[in-house]
Every structure is written in structure tokens, then in C-alpha cells.
Structure 1
Amino acid sequence: MSRLFGSVRSRATLGATLVVAVALVAAGAAVLLSLRSNLIDQAGNDAERTAQNVVAQLATGKAYGRLDMDDDGPVQVVDAQGTLVAASDDLERISGTATDAVKPKPQAAGTGSAPATGGDDDADDADDDTTGEAGEIGEGTRFSGGSATIDGDTADYRFAAVPVKAGDRGTLTVYAGGSLDAEQSAVNTALTVMLIGFPLLLAVVAGVTWLVTRRALRPVEGIRAEMAAITQSEDLARRVPEPDTHDEVARLARTTNETLAALETSVERQRRFVADASHELRSPIASLRTQLEVGAAHPELLDLDGAVEDTVRLQGLAADLLLLARLDAGERPGETRFDLGALAREQAEGRANVTVQAQDVAVAGSRGQVGRVLTNLLDNAQRHARSAVTVTVRRDEGRGAGEGAWAVVAVADDGDGVAEADRERIFERFVRLDEARSRDDGGAGLGLAIARDVAVRHGGTLTVGRAPTGGALFELRLPSAPQVK
């Protein structure tokens, strides 16, 4: 059972069926109540019309024995003492009125009227001729429910009680009943239709919901199956099927494929990183091992300077790989406040042919990582410059509404520059534009990649363009720290 209702389709079908069931029950109850109320009101109106007809006769002073009463429904005329003075023919039992009497009680002569049943041909002629003094119709009809038996048939009725002032006969009340058979029949018929139709309608709703949700969730099952296959095969080049729709399932498929593409890129980048790192580490380690083996066999041939150089190069490469690993792991740069102009002057100190023009601009982040960026940019510029490298640090106020100020570091050289087609490629890891250049001269191709990653982690950018002197112009932009008041 738990497995059956553990699927989205089952829960959707059950939920839709329950909602429709509640709506149908509420609507059915409202219909039945409205139908019953309308039919009861109709029966009450019929009873009131019958009572008003009798009241009109009594108001004109017509004798009890001559009253024209409705043969289809029960009618009673009761005096102020609650005594039945007139009733319809064939009335055998009644309830819900002022009295349950069905036969009028005889009254003493001279009362101005003779009790009788309406339409009784055996009534005394003298009594039939007796009339009362004319009266007036009272106000205020009252309604009540009850039952009556007429000529052996028992039924429920809606009784209307209408008062009338009948002259010397005093105040009389006429009770007339309207049959509730139509109300009961209509309500029973409607209830039967609902009891039969509602389950059928709920079955249709459940079936349609089951089929619609099955059709709607079919792409989801395709996505799930493909993801399971991708997980088993570890083939990140595969993609889940995208439905040709514009709904949530299609957006889920597109987002899943975007995630797979990003994951494939990340894994491929990691594999290439490991392969390139192994390749780059192999050369200095092999060179260092060779020199040590030669030195062990022939101490007089040991090249200490070369061994130290390979060791330093190996140490720098290891530091670069460690920093890249930390950046890839999402290490936060921190919020240390420092002067970018002072840091630029510090990194340029002692370098030949490097000119620094630096303003004091405060930034927040990792001073060590930003210093590493400046070192890499200066190393790259000196490697490609013919005679001079220029470093400028300035504060650039934001031009857009709400845009903050930026700290900008520009490193320019007078070398050959970077071709426009290669201006993004040089920031990739282990990329060297001059493949013929030796590793000793060109490095491992990680400096600019590290510089851009650090800039992005600090909320900034690193771009390359053309310097006024014709060489490369690297521009580092970092958010300026708020000024301390």
C-alpha cells in the first residue's frame, strides 16, 4: 500500500479524486437543501392559498356548514378556545396544528353558527342556512409541519395558519395543509441520482487523472532512466531527452542537461589538470634525479646550481597547483583590508625596467593571493617586454547608478602583445602561446590562470588588451573597499 501511494501519479490521482469528491458532496448537499427548501416553500404557498380561500368565506359571514374547503388537503377551523368548529371531509387523523381533533364538536343553538364539516350533504338545513356576522381577515400567517390521514392515505403536510375575525363568532384560525409528497419525491429522486452518478463521476475523474499524470510524467521517467544509465556508465557526454514542450518537465530536462554539461566540463578540466600537472612535474623531477644520480657517481660533475634551480621550479609548481586546488575548492579570500598601491610598489621593488605609478587605493580580500596575481603579471610582462614595463594603480569611480568604485591595476609592456584571438585562451591552465619556448623560460602556463581565478574570487576581473606602446596591457579590477570615516 505504501509503495502504491509512494508514486506521484498515485498521489495526484488520489488527491484529485478526493478534491472532486468533496466538491461533489458539498454541491450535492447544497442542491438538495435548495430543492427541499423551494418545494417546502411551494407547499406552504399552496396551503396559504387554501387557507386564505376559507378565511375569505368566513370573513363574509358564511356558515361553517357551507364552507367550500379543498378536497385534496386537510383543513381545520379552530376558534379562540382551540375548539374545532369545522374540518374538511374524510379527515381521519391530523398532527402539527392547534388540535388533533378531526370532527367538529356540536355547539348550543343560538350561537350564530352551527359546527359542520365542509361539503356535508347530510347537515341540517336550518344549520346550513345559519350565517354569522361579517368579519375581517387577520394578519400574520404561521407555518408548521405535520401529517394527516385523509380517506385512509397518510402523508406529510406543510400547514399554514391564517387568523380571521369572524364577527360574533370571535377570532378563528384556519389551518390548511399543502402536500409534501412532491418535495419528498423530488429529493429522493435527486438523492438516488447522486448516489449512482457521483461514484461513476469519481471513477471517471480518477481514470482521467491517472492517464493524464501518466502521460505528463512519462518524460520524467525517461529522464530518470537516462540519469541511471549515465551513473552506471559514467559517460558524462550523454544527455537526457528534452520534451518538445514549454512546461516544468521540459525546464527540468534542460537544467539537467546544463548540469551534466557543467559536470562534464569540470571533470574533463580536472582530468586535464591532473594529466598536465603530472607532465609538468615529471620534467623537473626527472632532471633533479638525473643530476643527483650523476653527483652520487661522480661528485665532481654535480651541477649544484642546476639542482637548486630545478628544486625551486618544482617548489613553485607545487605551490601553484596547491593554490589552484584551494581556489577550485571554493576557498573564501577573506576580508583583510590593505592598500593595493603599496602592494604594487612592494611587488615591483627590485625588478629591472619596471616603473610604478600607484595611488593609495584600499581593497579587501587576501593580501597574499592578490600579491601573487601582481607577481604573475609582472613576471609575464618582463618575460615578453623589450625594454620597459609600466605599472599603474588608480581608483575608478563607478559610472552606473548604484555602482561602487573600483581599484584598477594596469600592467603594460612594450613587447609584441597578444593576438586578439588568443586573449581568452591565455587564461586557460597549462596554455603556452609559444610552444617552442622552453619550460625554463616560459613556466608551466599556470600564472595567468591563477591570476584570473583569484580576481574572480575577489569579485573582480582580469582582462588583456593592447598597450599604448604596442605590447600587452593586463588590467586587474577589484572592488574598492569602503573608505573608513
Structure 2
Amino acid sequence: MPHRPGPLTPGLLRPGRLSVQARLVLVTALLSLASLTGVAVAVDLIVRGRIEREVYASTQRAATEWIGAMGTSTPQPVTTPEVSLFQLVDATGHVVQASRDAEGRPPMSTLWPNSDDRIQHGKECTRDGCVMFTAYRPSPQEEELWGGASHVVYAGRPEPALLAGWDLELGLAAAVLTGTTLLTGLAALLIRRTLRPVEEMRARIAEITVTDLGLRVPAPPGDDAIASLARTVNRTLARLQEAVSQQRHYSSMVSHELRTPLAGLRMRLEEAVTYPDADREETIRGALGSVDRLQRIIDEMLLLTRIRTSSPQQAERVDLGHLVREEAGSLPGPCRPVLVVHDSPRVWGNRTQLTEVLTNLLVNAQRHTRGAIEVSVAREDDEAVLSVWDDGEGIAPEEREQVFQPFVRLAAGRKRDPAGSGLGLAISRAIAQAHEGDLTIEDSPRGPCFVLRLPLAGEHEPG
């Protein structure tokens, strides 16, 4: 049976296995510990240095006052509660004179200042403790008191307890640990409160399924990163819901449109089986007609899906005016469109797909016109505008968006082209949107006016 690591297994402490919240708390704890430790070390050095300076300043002042009191004789040093250890030592290391607390003791130190640096500080330690002192060598004029022989005055005091022990360091260490604990706890509380909206978003997203895309994550107020993330997630969910809804509607329409030719194909095949004497050639032609319709619908559905799910391939700079002249000139039929090319704007796009749009619009205009078709190309601001107008019956404003839906055909369209699939305009709009443009129906004095708007091509190919 494989070993299961316990809760204290070191492997679980690897950063990769910690949650984001735990990692943030851990980083905060380490940074707090490092920062407070640095502050504590600085405070320790500052405090120790200040105490040492104060101690040496007091011993130097006491030694200076004793030497200043010396005249023709050597008076007894004046002790204070702070400085009570005084010794006058000659060059042989003999204590000539000492204060009451220093009597009977050997010299405080062997430190002997030279003539260039007559005042020096030091510390000597014995089993009884440490003494911090100032060694003061009198000047040659002052040494005349002893016949010119070198002497040194030592003024000392016991080392303060704060310097002698580790109380300062222990206190600072306790303060560092306390501060680290408080900062870590505060950081954990703030991090937990900060990440609470993220956890709520995660829980809500876990509830969302394909069958219920209407839920939205709670968006906290403000403009911080979490609020922006929540709004972005909600916008993504809204787009996903719309896409799924369109896909369901599209699938429903596809199944409906395929059912009719499949039913016709099945009927003709069953007729051929049931009635062997029936005209087999006519039956086969009818079946092939149903198959052709099925194939046309499937091809157009695949084209529409490919356009909606990918960007235009093999994009190039297309002269819209030149394209219109070519396609309108080769359009079959008795009604020739009138061309009004005010400019020849260029756009980035797939030439084959843009030709598909223009062909669909021209064929649609020929199907509904009474005798007049006009195609115009112009430039408006930063857009290329292509308009196709015919003098047919027109499309009511409330029906203009419907004609761009897949398989939607108005009564007039079904009457003029019963075999149509209703995908031509849907494909045309999808191509326009794939090229970052749009295809709409705008108002005109008479008949429908389809308007294709595309962004103008810049100097460089778009990324």
C-alpha cells in the first residue's frame, strides 16, 4: 500500500503545493521577519554604541577632573555613583594611588597610552566582572609632579548590565517575534478578505453548467484587479451564453432545414422500392436533386461556421472599386447594375470572401429588382462603404435584422427562389464581421439598400 504523507510531511511544504493565500502569508511572514530582524540589529548596535559612549564619556570626564585637581600633590580622587574606580599607575606597573573601591587591586589594565594619543578607552574582564575605563596619560608638564616619570590615570566603572548580558538582544528578539506574529496575522486577515471575492467567484463558476449559463459571478465595487476580473468574467459568460443560445438556435434550424430534403430523398427511394414499375430514371433524378440540396446546405453551413470561428485567411490589400467593376461586369442576367464609384478605397481582407459577399448582394438584387440596380463605392472617414440598391419592394424595418439570420427567408424571397437555403445573407454578414466590418440594410426612397462597411487598409498589414 503506497505511503500517504501526513500533515507534517516536508513535501507538503513545497511552495508549489501551497495555496495562493498560504504563499502570500508565508512571504509576508518571511519579509516581516527579515525586516524586523534588520531593525532589531540596528537598534541593538545603536543602543550599545550609545551606552558605551556615555560610559566612556563619564570615565574620561572623571579622569580629567582628577588630573586637573592635581597641583603640587596628588589629592584623593572624587568618586561618583557612576565612576568609583580610580588608579594612578607608574611606569613600573605599581599602583601609586587608588580610590577606596580600587585599593588592593592590581592595575585595571596594561593599556599604556603613548604621547601622541594620551586618552584611550578599554575594557578588562575578570571573574568578578568587566570594567570599562579610560586611560589618561598626563602631559609632560603635569608629569613634573612625579619628577618627569610617566604615569597613567585609570578611571573606570563596572560594565552596565545591559552591555554585560543578553537582556537587550533577548528583548529585541521577543519584540521581533511578536511583531512578526502580529504582522503575519494582520496580513492573513487582509489577504483572506481580499481573496474572498475570488473564492466567491470560483464557487459561482463551479455552479455554472451548459444548461444554465444565466448565472453571473458577484462583482465587488471599485476598479481594482479583482473587480475588473469579475466584470471580465461576467462579460465572457454573457458572450458564452449568447454563443450557446445562437448555436442551439442554429442547430435547431439546421435540423429543420435538413429534414425536408431528407424526407424527399427517403420518399423517392421508398417509391422506387415499393413500385418497381415506376420510372427509375425520374426517381434517380429526383433523389439526386434532394442530394444536391443537402450538399448545398451542408457546404454553406460549413462555410458559415468556418467564417464565424476563424479570421480571414490569405488576407491581402483589395481595391474595392476594381472588385466591383469586375464582378458587376461579369454578372449574368438581363438587368445590368449601374456603377457609381466615387473612390477606390482599399481594404485588408480575403478577396474570395469579399467577392462572395458582393455576388450574394448582386444576385439578391437581381432576384427582387423591377429593373434598376445601383452599386456604389465610396470612402467615409476611415471606412470603405459599398452599397447595393435595387428598386424592389423593400424590407420593412422590423424585418431587416431577420434576413441576416441563417435559414430565415421572407415570403417574397421564398416565392422568387423556392430552392434557396436562406444562408446567403447570413454568410455575407459573417464575412463582413470577420473583416471587422458590418453589413446592414439602410433606409432608401425605394427598395432595399444593403450597405457593407469595412475599415480602410493602413500602410502595414494588420497583426
Instruction: Classify the TM-score, shorter chain.
Output: 0.7 to 0.9
Bigger Rg, which one: 1
Matches within 5 A, 1:76-475: 76-78=87-89, 85-91=96-102, 92-98=105-111, 142-147=119-124, 154-164=129-139, 165-166=141-142, 168=144, 169-170=147-148, 172-181=151-160, 183-184=162-163, 188-231=166-209, 234-243=211-220, 247-291=224-268, 297=275, 298-299=278-279, 302=282, 310=290, 312-348=292-328, 349-357=331-339, 358=341, 361-394=345-378, 396=379, 399=381, 403=382, 406-434=383-411, 437=414, 440-441=417-418, 443-467=420-444, 469-475=445-451
What amino acid is the match of 2:77?
D
Q: 1:163 to 1:364 in 2, by over 3 A?
A: same
Find the residue that maps to 2:216 and give its secondary structure: coil
Residues 129 and 158 of structure 2 are in contact (CA less than 8 Å); yes or no, is this contact kept in structure 1?
no
Q: 1:10 to 1:144 in 2, by over 3 A?
A: same
Q: 1:336 to 1:90 in 2, by over 3 A?
A: closer
Residues 341 and 393 of structure 1 are in contact (CA less than 8 Å); yes or no, is this contact kept in structure 2?
yes
Long gaps (5+) in structure 1: 101-137
Find the residue that maps to 2:333 and give its secondary structure: coil
Out of 50, 71, 74, the position equivalent to 2:85 is: 74
CA distance in 2, matches of 1:436, 1:455: 22
Find the residue that maps to 1:341 and give its secondary structure: helix
TM-score computed with the length of structure 1 as normaliser: 0.76
- The match for 1:110 is none
Q: Do residues 9 (structure 1) and 18 (structure 2) align?
A: no
CA distance in 2, matches of 1:306, 1:438: 21
Q: 1:361 to 1:50 in 2, by over 3 A?
A: closer
CA drift at 1:243: 4.1
Find the residue that maps to 1:354 and give its secondary structure: coil
Question: Is the deviation greater in 255-264 or in 297-306?
Answer: 297-306
Residues 327 and 359 of structure 2 are in contact (CA less than 8 Å); yes or no, is this contact kept in structure 1?
yes
Q: 1:205 to 1:324 in 2, by over 3 A?
A: same
- The match for 1:39 is 51
CA drift at 1:67: 4.1
Question: Is the deviation greater in 153-162 or in 324-333?
Answer: 153-162
Question: Is the deviation greater in 211-220 or in 373-382?
Answer: 211-220
Out of 23, 48, 61, the position equivalent to 2:35 is: 23
What amino acid is the match of 1:163?
P
CA drift at 1:3: 4.8
Find the residue that maps to 1:452 and give its secondary structure: helix
Long gaps (5+) in structure 2: 1-7
Find the residue that maps to 1:166 and give its secondary structure: helix
Question: What percentage of residue pairs aligned between the two structures are identical?
Answer: 36
Q: 1:17 to 1:148 in 2, by over 3 A?
A: closer
CA drift at 1:321: 0.6
Q: 1:27 to 1:364 in 2, by over 3 A?
A: closer
What amino acid is the match of 1:353?
C
CA drift at 1:69: 4.3
What amino acid is the match of 1:322?
L
Residues 264 and 290 of structure 2 are in contact (CA less than 8 Å); yes or no, is this contact kept in structure 1?
yes
Residues 43 and 179 of structure 1 are in contact (CA less than 8 Å); yes or no, is this contact kept in structure 2?
no
CA drift at 1:47: 0.8
Find the residue that maps to 1:415 and give its secondary structure: coil
Find the residue that maps to 1:302 and give its secondary structure: helix
What amino acid is the match of 1:448?
L
TM-score computed with the length of structure 2 as normaliser: 0.79
In the comparison of the two structures, how many residue pairs are matched? 432
Q: 1:190 to 1:234 in 2, by over 3 A?
A: farther
Q: 1:339 to 1:191 in 2, by over 3 A?
A: closer
What amino acid is the match of 1:156?
V
Residues 147 and 156 of structure 1 are in contact (CA less than 8 Å); yes or no, is this contact kept in structure 2?
yes
CA distance in 2, matches of 1:436, 1:474: 15
CA distance in 2, matches of 1:440, 1:474: 19
CA drift at 1:139: 8.6
Find the residue that maps to 1:42 and give its secondary structure: helix
What amino acid is the match of 1:21?
L
Q: 1:88 to 1:345 in 2, by over 3 A?
A: same
Find the residue that maps to 2:44 and give its secondary structure: helix
Question: Is the deviation greater in 424-433 or in 81-90?
Answer: 81-90
CA distance in 1, matches of 2:349, 2:231: 36
